[in-house]
A and B are shown apart, each in its own frame.
Chain A
Amino acid sequence: MPGYRRWLLLRAGGVVFVLWAAATITFFALRLIPGDPAEAILGGPGSQAGPEALAEVRREYGLDQPLAVQYLTYLGRLVRGDLGQSYSLHEPVASAIGEQLGATLTLALCSLVLAWALACALAAWSVRGGRIAWAIGSGLELVAAAVPHFWLATVLILFFSLTLGILPPVSVPGPLGIVLPALTMAIPLAGFLGQVMRESLLTAMESPFVTTARARGESEVRIFWRHTLRHAAIPAVGLSGWAFGSLISGAVVVESVFARQGLGRSLLSAVQLRDVTLVTGIVLVVALAYTVMTLVTDVADRAIDPRVRAVTQ
C-alpha cells in the first residue's frame, strides 16, 4: 500500500503543477498579444470609448499595474480560490463558469458514452462479418476519425433537421436538443477509439485464451463481449482521459454551431474579448477536468487489467 499512496501523492502534485502551468501560460500568452482589453471591455465593435471611461476601466480591473504585479495579484487570488471578476460578463468568473460547466460536462459525457457505444457496436459487427466487414469497419473508423466537427455538424443538421425534420438544428431544452451536438462530437471520437480497439482486438482474437474459450465451447458472442472486447478496451480506456480533454475543446465549435450553452462558447468569446480572468478560469477548469479524468482512467485501467494492478500495488 505505501507504493499506492506514493503513486497517488505524486499524481496529486502533478495536478497542482499542471494547474499552475496552465494559469501562468494562459495569463502571459493573452498579455503578449497586442491590443488593449480596456477598449474591448467598453463595447468593442461600433462603439468608441472616452478617455475617462477607459481610465476607469483600467483602474477597476488593475490593467494600469505593471505586468508582474498583475500576475502576482492574480496568482495570490487563485491560491485563495478566488477566480476573479469577468469583465466581459460583469459577474464573478466562478459563477460564470458554474452556469456553463454543467452543460459542457453533460455534453462531453454523453459524447463519450455515445462514442463508446458506436465504437463497440461497429467492432462487434465487423469482427463477426469476415474480412470484408472488417475492412468496411476499419474504413468507416478512418473516415469518422478524420471528419472535422464543423463539417459534420452541418451535414447532420442538413440531414436530420432539414431533410428528415426529426431533430432540432439548434439546441432546445430537453434530451432531444443534445442528440445532434453529442453525435457530432461522438462520431470522430468513436472512429479514433475504434481504430485503437481494432488493433488489440486482432491480437486478442488470435490469443491462446480465445482459442481456449472456443475449445471450452463458449459461444462467439460470449467470447467477444467477455474476452476479446475486454482486452481490446484497455488501451481505449486509457485514451478516454485524453478524449475527455479533447471533447471540451471540441465543444468550442459544437456549442457555437448548435447555439448550446457551455464552457466552449464562453472560452471563444472570452478570448475574443481578451477577458483574461475568464479565459484563465476556464483553462484551469479544463485542466482540472483533464487531470482528474486521466486519474480516473488510470484507476479504471487497474480495475480492467490485472497486469497494471500488479505493477502499481
Chain B
Amino acid sequence: MPSRRFSRPRAAVVLAAAVALLVSACSPGGGTTTAEPTGEPVSGGTLTYASGDAEPSCLDPHVGGNYPQALIATQYLESLVSLDEDGEVIPWLATEWSESDDGLAWEFSLRDDVTFTDGTPFDAAAVAANIAHVQDPATASSTGYLALAKIVDVVAVDDHTVRLELSAPDSALLESLSQVWVAIQSPTALERSQEENCAAPVGTGPFVVDEWERQDSVTLVRNDDYNSPPADVAAAAEGADLPYLDSIVWRFIPDSASRYAALQSGEVQVIDNAQPDTIRSAASDDAIEELDAPRPGASNRIELNSGKAPFDDERVREAFIRAVDVDAGIDGLFFGTAERSWSPLSSVEPLSLSLPDLFTVDTDAAADLLDEAGWAERDAEGYRVKDGERLSLDFPVSTNQSIPAEQSLFEQIQADAKEAGFEVNLHPLDLSSWYGALAENDYDLVSAPYTKVGPDVLRILYHSDSITPAPSGYFANLAQVDDAMLDDLLTRASATSNPDERRSMYEQAQRIILDGYYILPLYDQQNHFLYSSTVRGLRAMPTVSTPTFAGAWLVS
C-alpha cells in the first residue's frame, strides 16, 4: 500500500491532471446559436428520459405512492379529472360531475369511448375496482389511500355513471382524484398478482409499459389507440394523432453529474432533478432548455418541534427564526434557481398565503427574546445556557431527500444560529434512520417534503390528529402543532364547498401556523427539468408537476 510520505506529491499530480482535464473540458465547443423555429409537430422517434429520482419498486402508483412513481406513471395512466394552468379542475376520464347538497355523494359521468390498452373497456365498474384496489390493505397504498380516505362506497349508477359516497363532505375530493397516485387502471390487469401488476400496469394513457429492465430502464411504447388526453391537452392538439413519439426509454441515472453529461452528449434528451449549479451552466448552452415546475402541496420548510423544550416556548422559536438569514443562503447556494418562500404552501397553490414580515432577520430581537425566555447566559463557546443546560438543537437531515445545496443551506443556518447562541447539531442520516429519529421524537428541527394537490395538505401536516403516530411511529405533524382553533379551521375547510369560506379558512389556518413560528419556510419543492432543444411540446402536468410526453415530439 502507498505510504503516507508520498501523499503531498501524489496530491499535486492528481490536482495537475484534474486541472488540465477541466480546462480542456471547459474550452468552447460546438453548439448552435440560432434558435430553431417551433414548427409543426413531427411524428415518430424515440426519446430517452433520465430520472435522478429513485427507481420505483413498483410501476403501479397505487402501491406505496411516491414521486418517482408519479413521474413515470403519468406516461401510461390517466385520472378522472385534471387541473388546468390556473388550478381549475377540468374533465379527463370523467366528463362532468356534481356534488349532492349534503356533500356526502358525488356523481361522475364517464367517457364511453375509452378502452384500456389490454382491451378492457373503461366504465363505472373499472372506477369501482380501482378505488377498491387503493383501499385494499393488501395493496399497501399510502398516498392514494389518504386521498380516498373519506370514500365509503362506490355505486355504478349505470355503465358510464359512478357515484362516490363519502363519510364526510370533502372539498379536496376533486383535487385528490386528479393525482396520479389514484389514476385509473384496467380492472382486468389489477386482478393479476401484485408482482405482475407492478411490472406492467395497464392504463389508458398515451404510452404503454413494454419492458422493465431493472436498474436500467423502462421502455414505453406508443398507445396507437390513444384518445383520452385531459381537456386542455385535447383542446391544444385538436385533430392531432397523439402521441407523436413512438417510444420513450425511461432511464435511471442516479448521479447528477453523469445525468447532465448524458444530456450534453446527446445520450438522453430530458433529465429531471437538475441541480442548481447544472441549471446555471445549462443556461449558457443554446442546445439545452429548462422547464421549471415547482411541486404543489407544502413548501420546503424547516419544522420547529413545538412538542418539547426548547421550542415549546414560542419566544425561542421566534428567536431562532429571526436569527437565521435564509435569503442569503438561497441566493448563494441555489444560483437564482430557487425563490424564497414565506408560506407553508407551495407558490403554485392558489390559496397559498405569504407573510414575509414574520421572517425578517433581526438578531437584536432574537437576543432579547432569548434573554426573556431565560436563556440569558452564554457558555465558554458562546452558546446560550439556562440552568446549566446548553441551548442545543438536533436536526436530523435525510441525505436521500436533501440535495447538496440544501444541506449546505442547513449548514449556513447552523452558522447563523450559532451567532445567536443556538447550538444546531446536524445529523445526516439515511432514509430509514431518519424516519427512526422522527419516530422517537429525537429532533428539534426537521425538513420533510410533502406533495399533494390542494391546500388540504395543511390538514395532513398541521392538524393535531397527525401528532398521534401511526403504528410505525411515523406522524406527519412534525412541528407538533396542537391548536384547537387550527384543528377546527382545517376540519371545516376540508368540508365546505363554498369557495370563499374555504379560502378564508385556509388563510386563517396559514396565519396561525406562520404567526406561531412553527415553521421556517424555505422555497418551493424544486422540480427542474433540462431538455435538449430537439424536444418540443414538453410540459409539466398542472396536477403534481410531473412531465408529460403526450404532446411532445422530436425534431431531427
Is A33 a contact partner of B436 (Cβ separation < 8 A)?
Answer: yes
B216 contacts partner chain A, Cβ-Cβ < 8 Å: yes
Q: Which of B127-152 contact A (CB under 8 A)?
A: 137-143, 145-146, 149
Residue of A whose beta carbon sits closest to that of B525: A46
> Is there a chain A Cβ closer than 8 Å to B111's Cβ?
no
- List CB contacts (< 8 Å) of A58-108 with chain B: 58, 88-91, 96, 99-100
Measured between beta carbons, the chain A residues less than 8 angstroms from B355 are: none
CB distance from A272 to the nearest CB of B (A): 5
Is A250's CB within 8 Å of the partner chain B? no
- Report whether B253 and A259 are in contact in the complex, using a CB–CB cutoff of 8 Å: yes
**Contact assessment for A51 and B400 in the assembled complex, using a CB-CB cutoff below 8 Å:** no
8 Å CB contacts to B: which residues of A262-278?
262, 265-266, 269, 271-274
Q: Looking at the assembled complex, report how far the CB atom of B219 sits from the nearest CB atom of chain A, in whole angstroms.
A: 12
Decide if B265 touches A168 in the complex (CB within 8 Å): yes
Q: Check B433 against A35 for contact (C-beta < 8 Å).
A: yes
A161 touching B66, Cβ below 8 Å = no
Residue B18 lies at the interface, judged by CB distance under 8 Å to chain A: yes
The CB with the most chain A CB atoms within 10 A, among B398, B451, B474, is that of B474
Query: Interface with B: A4-12, A142-150, A302-310, which one?
Result: A142-150
Which listed residue (A51, A142, A157, A192) contacts B257, Cβ 8 A?
A: A157
CA distance A153 to B254 in the complex (A): 14
Partner of B400, one of A44, A158, A258, A266: A44
Contacts of B125 in A (CB 8 A): none
Does the CB pair A47–B66 fall under 8 Å?
yes
- Chain B nearest CB from A54 CB (Å) reads 5
Residues in chain A near residue B141, CB distance under 8 A: 53
Chain A 160-172: CB-based contact to B (< 8 A → 1; otherwise 0) = 0111010011111
CB distance from B252 to the nearest CB of A (A): 6
Contacts A89-B214, A143-B10, A269-B54 hold; do A162 and B265 have CB atoms under 8 A apart?
A: yes
A41 within 8 A of B: yes
User: CB of B226 within 8 A of chain A?
Assistant: no
Report Cα–Cα, A163/B215, bound state, in Å.
Answer: 28
Q: Do A48 and B261 have beta carbons less than 8 Å apart?
A: no
Q: Scan B46-85; emit 1 where CB is below 8 A from any A CB, else 0.
A: 0000100011011000011111010000000000000000
Instruction: Tell me if B437 counts as interface (CB < 8 A to partner A).
Output: yes
Whole-angstrom distance between the Cβ of A97 and the nearest chain B Cβ = 11
B258 within 8 A of A: yes
CB–CB A43/B431 < 8 A: no
Q: Look across to chain A and name the residue whose beta carbon is closest to the beta carbon of B197.
A: A90
Q: Is there a chain A Cβ closer than 8 Å to B32's Cβ?
A: no
Q: Which residues on A sit within 8 Å (CB–CB) of B195? A: 90-91
Set of chain B residues within 8 Å of A89, measured between Cβ atoms: 57, 214
Verify B476–A273 contact, CB threshold 8 A: no
A38 at the interface (CB under 8 A from B): yes
Total A residues in contact with B, Cβ cutoff 8 Å: 72
Instruction: Choose one: B54, B145, B198, B472; the contact of A38 (CB below 8 Å).
Output: B472
A88 to B198, CA, bound (A): 11
Task: Report the bound CA distance from A38 to B198 in whole Å.
Answer: 18
> With A49-B472, A146-B2 as given contacts, are A44 and B255 in contact (CB-CB < 8 Å)?
no
Interface positions of B from 471 to 502, Cβ below 8 Å from A: 471-474, 476
> Which partner residue on chain B sits nearest A159 by CB separation?
B21
- In the complex, A249 has a CB within 8 A of chain B: no
Please state if B258 and A157 are interface contacts (CB–CB under 8 Å).
Answer: yes
Q: How far is the CB of A123 from chain B (nearest CB, A)?
A: 17
Residues of B within 8 A of A151 (CB): 18
Instruction: Tell me the bound Cα distance from A255 to B268 in angstroms.
Output: 18
Is the CB–CB distance between B2 and A36 below 8 Å? no
Give the secondary structure class of A's interface. helix
Interface hub of A54, A96, A100 (most chain B Cβ within 10 A) = A54
Cβ–Cβ contact B64 & A37, under 8 A: no
Measured between C-beta atoms, what is the minimum distance from A161 to chain B in Å? 5
Binary A-proximity of B18-39 (CB < 8 A = 1, otherwise 0): 1001101100000000000000
> Would you list which residues of chain A between 26 and 48 have a CB under 8 Å from chain B?
33-48
State the Cβ distance, B303 to closest chain A Cβ, in Å: 14
* Contact between B214 and A158, CB atoms less than 8 A apart: no
CA distance A138 to B264 in the complex (A): 37
Are the CB atoms of B471 and A48 closer together than 8 Å?
A: no
| Residue B440 lies at the interface, judged by CB distance under 8 Å to chain A | yes
Given A39-B472, A157-B257, A47–B142 Cβ distance below 8 Å? yes
Query: Is there a chain A Cβ closer than 8 Å to B194's Cβ?
Result: yes
Q: Determine whether the beta carbon of B17 is less than 8 Å from that of A155.
A: yes
Minimum distance in angstroms from B403 CB to a CB of chain A: 12
**B68-115 interface with A by 8 A CB criterion:** 69
Say yes or no: A56 contacts B138, CB within 8 Å: yes
Q: What residues of chain B lie closer than 8 Å to A257, measured between beta carbons?
A: 255, 257-258
Render A118-151 as a binary contact track against B, CB cut-off 8 A, 1 for contact: 0000000000000000000001001101110001
| A155 and B267 in contact, given A45-B400, A50-B145, A55-B471 (Cβ under 8 angstroms) | no
Q: Once bound together, how far apart are the Cα atoms of A161 and B18, in whole Å?
A: 15
Q: How many A-B residue pairs have CB under 8 A?
A: 219
A50 & B257 in contact (Cβ 8 Å cutoff): no
A42 to B431 Cα, complex, angstroms:
12
Contact with A along B242-272 (1 / 0, CB 8 A): 0000000001111101110110110110000
A88 and B57: CB pair below 8 A? yes
In the assembled complex, how far is the CB of residue A26 from the closest CB belonging to chain B, in whole angstroms? 15
In Å, the complex CA distance between A136 and B138 comes to 64
At the interface, yes or no: A283 with Cβ under 8 Å from chain B?
Answer: no
> A47-B142, A90-B58 in contact; A259/B432 too (CB < 8 A)?
no
Q: Using CB atoms, name the residue of chain B closest to A165.
A: B265
What are the interface flags for A174-186 relative to B under an 8 Å C-beta threshold, 1 for contact and 0 otherwise?
Answer: 0000000000000
In Å, the complex CA distance between A312 and B262 comes to 52
What is the CA–CA distance of A192 and B1 in the complex, to the nearest angstrom? 7
User: Roughly how many angstroms separate A211 CA and B510 CA in the complex, as a whole number?
Assistant: 88
Determine whether the beta carbon of A34 is less than 8 Å from that of B257: no
CB-nearest residue of chain B to A141: B2
Closest to B55 in A: A269
B433 touches A168 (CB 8 A): no
Per-residue CB proximity of B429-449 to A under 8 Å, as 1/0?
Answer: 011111111011000000001
B13 near A: Cβ within 8 Å?
yes
- B157 is an interface residue with CB less than 8 A from chain A: no
Asked if residues A90 and B198 are in contact (CB atoms below 8 Å), the reply is yes
Given A45-B67, A146-B10, the answer on whether A51 and B215 have CB atoms closer than 8 Å is no
User: Which residues of B are found within 8 Å of A146, using beta-carbon distances?
Assistant: 2, 10, 14
Contact B470–A261 (Cβ < 8 Å): no
Q: Smallest distance from the beta carbon of A41 to chain B beta carbons, Å?
A: 7
Residue of B nearest to A88 (CB): B57
Q: Please, which residues of chain B bring their CB within 8 A of the CB of A157?
A: 257-258, 261
Residues of B contacting A256 with CB < 8 Å? 254-255
Determine if B460 is an interface residue (Cβ-Cβ < 8 Å).
yes
Chain A hits for B67, CB < 8 A: 45-46
List, in ascending order, chain A residues with CB within 8 A of B430's CB. 271-272
* A62 to B55 alpha-carbon distance, docked (Å): 25
Interchain residue pairs A-B with the least CB separation, the first 4 = A43-B64, A34-B436, A35-B432, A35-B436
14 pairs, A vs B, C-beta closer than 8 Å? A44-B66, A44-B400, A46-B67, A54-B471, A90-B194, A142-B10, A155-B18, A163-B24, A256-B254, A257-B255, A259-B254, A259-B259, A269-B54, A274-B432
With A34-B437, A36-B436, A49-B470 given, can you name 20 additional A-B contacts, CB distance below 8 Å? A34-B436, A35-B439, A36-B474, A48-B146, A48-B460, A48-B476, A49-B142, A49-B474, A57-B140, A90-B58, A142-B2, A145-B1, A146-B14, A153-B258, A155-B17, A155-B18, A158-B22, A169-B264, A259-B255, A272-B400
Interface, chain B (partner A; CB < 8 A) = 1-2, 6, 9-10, 13-14, 17-18, 21-22, 24-25, 50, 54-55, 57-58, 63-67, 69, 137-143, 145-146, 149, 194-195, 198, 213-216, 251-255, 257-259, 261-262, 264-265, 267-268, 398, 400-401, 430-437, 439-440, 449-451, 460, 470-474, 476
